[in-house]
Chains A and B, each alone.
Chain A
């Protein structure tokens, strides 16, 4: 009955109803789009820097530049609870060149993996092919290289190896099989780890193990556990290893909080004002309800129900607006560079969070007008004094 009265009263003042709904819808729609984009930014950062980067934990030997038995170490780490994959990488200083022009670059050996530290932009990866070279987009651009081109590669092995000359530099001519991108990859060159390790004389060597986890937030505690539990290693979680990523994510979450605060203020004030004006315009009706036997709490509830009703309707409309924004920004990302594109995340949480906040905002904004409605003096109003 109270809901019936609340709805009918609102419907009798359609302009007020529309303005209230639009106010909530605009707030909800904006926040949904905003949250989705910021979630997408966080996702893109993690994908770019962790999933297609150095993983959640970077494990390196405490003694020396490499694990002699890197494959075995990777297998041991892969068996740890919570670890999704452990990728051994072998890194030597190197250079690539063409027509006499060389650029210094890390030469990174990677074996076949579901989580390589790069994203293929063009071409295909054939890890078992010793002639295959994957080149970062930066060098491809500088050296004007395309897939299929032949390129000179130099690897500085340091200690004496099997197939190197007297100055411990390996000299190779290899074929570009793919162009790759990624925060770490666009200025690097990738080859088969197996081949590179063989060339260096240490077939099982790995400079580091990139450990990927199912839950990114477990990196710090797990890194501490590994450092303590596995002798001869240092283990660094991504928040410490790539502090800029951690800072970006903290900043993103702060922006989400700030935007929520702004939306709450932007919705609460007009809601409060419109509902208050609605109460003032209905004083005679409210006085009459009190006079015929409705209690003050009934009148309070009717007004508060109106606030909740418009917030729910507004959230539904806002969800449509937010979905439209998400679809638009998925097709037109707000940021795109190399392999990193920020596209909004389409997830339930992106809709539920703003909806809950809008309903709570309505409850708070509607409380004073509801209280004011319940305080209507029927005697004065019905006499025409007010």
Chain B
């Protein structure tokens, strides 16, 4: 393998809280950031629920890790692809999602959320070196 950064895509298709996959996927992303690869996240199907705003887990006594998505920008994880059709099917719009941002040298608070349609998502998937699904 060459020393060039590889393209890693984390595919999130499961809702949070009912199982541990979303939380443990996020842990991989945060650790993986130190490896300076070309990282993207994909949210489709029930995975879009992972980044819905207003999550409150006090009543189920589990860790509310949804705020951790806000830290992704600080880890230079800047490409969060969200599938439009998956939002539509679930009665969601981009306004229902958390504001997830990153800073660049020139500008602060740029949005990391990139809404794409299904065929664009398929193309993004087809351009990766490694796809990690949880």
Q: Is B truly associated with A? A: no
Which residues of A are at the interface with B, using a C-beta cutoff of 8 A?
A: none
